[in-house]
Amino acid sequence: MVKNEGDPLKTVVVCTPKEEYARAGNRKEHNIGDLGDPAIAIRQHDALKETLRAFGAEVLDVPERAGHPNSVFTRDTAICTPQGYIHLHLGLETRQSEGVWMAQILKAQGERCIGEIKPPGTVEGGDVILSGKVAFIGRSVRTNDEGVRQFSKIMKPMGYEIRVINLPETILHLDKALMVLGEKQVLYCNELVSPDDIRGFDGIEIPCSENTTANIICLGNKQVIVNRSNELVIDLLRDNGYIVHDLDLSEFAKGMGGPNCLIMPVERRA
């Protein structure tokens, strides 16, 4: 159950990149910039898992999906809500069967499916951020209008206010521009997210660039995981009283992913 991305992380699904992540034959088709070094990628992913476990989260490490180098980025494959998970239809064609893959994993864990995004709708998990009574969703190159409509129909009966943020084609997912830090605090890129978008929240404002991004993992209890290259955000969050675990996740940045992309939160609990 996930109601608010700022609540302490209790259970999370990850996928160690043992083989498939370094096998992307057509990188453009998979939207992967450069192939990560397999040995380094595994070491970096192991450090991430160690940090998650040290915080107290249960880490479910599932095998990669054969032929799917992006399956390491579990965040995009489903959305867990207070009532169960949403089975997603992903926007990148080479990833679309990953929604079925993750649904099978969550079902095996006893999670309940409460809805499904069906074609022609597309939604990717990196475009969705839940914060109490507000569900932010990015309209992006991966999440289309029909996907936003179907998502809203599922979430509104749970009492969520849906706030849609339009993203330019240069921004892959909303989590680059916005992330929840706690019950009522968010980290946001000022060029992409307006003050009206985050009304009711205390905002920590950052510029948006290649290395400066809101793509972090909120562990809860004012602890976060940030990619070591995201130096401005590391300094800013520490200045605001956060405990920052700065990890080298450079091999995943090559694949167009950040810390938040590497986890699929199944349970957060205040």
87-131, pLDDT tens digit by residue? 999 998 989 999 999 999 999 999 999 999 999 999 999 999 999
Output the pLDDT for position 31: 66
User: What pLDDT digit, counting tens, does each position of 202-213 carry?
Assistant: 999 999 888 899
Which sequence spans correspond to the domains of the chain?
9-268
* pLDDT tier for residue 22 given thresholds of 50, 70 and 90: low
Sheet-wide strand order for 161-166: 128-131, 134-139, 161-166
Which residues, listed in sequence order, are joined to residue 226 by a DSSP beta bridge?
246
Contact by Cβ (8 Å): 256, 31? yes
In the chain, the DSSP E strands lie at 9-14, 58-61, 78-81, 84-87, 113-116, 128-131, 134-139, 161-166, 178-180, 185-189, 202-206, 217-220, 223-227, 243-247, 264-268
Q: 98: which residues sit within 8 A by CB, 6+ positions away?
A: 65, 68, 70, 71, 76, 77, 90
Share of the chain above pLDDT 70, in %: 95
pLDDT tens-place string over residues 169-202: 999 999 999 999 998 999 999 999 999 999 999 9
Judge if the upstream peptide bond of residue 38 is cis by omega within 30 degrees of 0. Answer: no
If you average pLDDT over residues 234-244, what whole number do you get? 97
What is the pLDDT at residue 256?
A: 78
Cα 223 to Cα 242: distance, rounded to the nearest angstrom: 6
- The pLDDT value recorded for residue 54 is 98
Q: How confident is the model at residue 255 (pLDDT cuts 50, 70, 90)?
A: confident
Taking 60 as the threshold, does the pLDDT of residue 27 lie above it? no
Tokens of 243: 């405990």
The pLDDT value recorded for residue 70 is 85
Q: Is there a contact between 226 and 245 (Cβ–Cβ < 8 Å)?
A: yes
Tell me the CATH number for domain 9-268.
3.75.10.10
User: Do 55 and 223 touch, CB atoms closer than 8 A?
Assistant: yes
13 CA to centre of own chain: 11
- Is there a contact between 134 and 84 (Cβ–Cβ < 8 Å)? no
pLDDT score of 214: 97
Amino acid at 83: Q
Q: How far apart are CA 150 and CA 173, in angstroms?
A: 18
* pLDDT for residue 25: 62
pLDDT at 68 over 60: yes
| 7-16, 208-217, 228-237, range with the lowest pLDDT | 208-217
Per-residue pLDDT tens digits for 28-66? 655 666 667 889 999 999 999 999 999 999 999 999 998
| CA distance linking residue 48 with residue 259, whole number of Å | 9
* Structure-block tokens of residue 254: 């090559």
Q: pLDDT for 123-170, tens place per residue?
A: 999 999 999 999 999 999 999 999 999 999 999 999 999 999 999 999
Please give the Cα distance from 177 to 167 (Å, whole number): 9
155: its two tokens: 């979430």
Q: What's the CA gap between 109 and 111, in Å, rounded?
A: 6
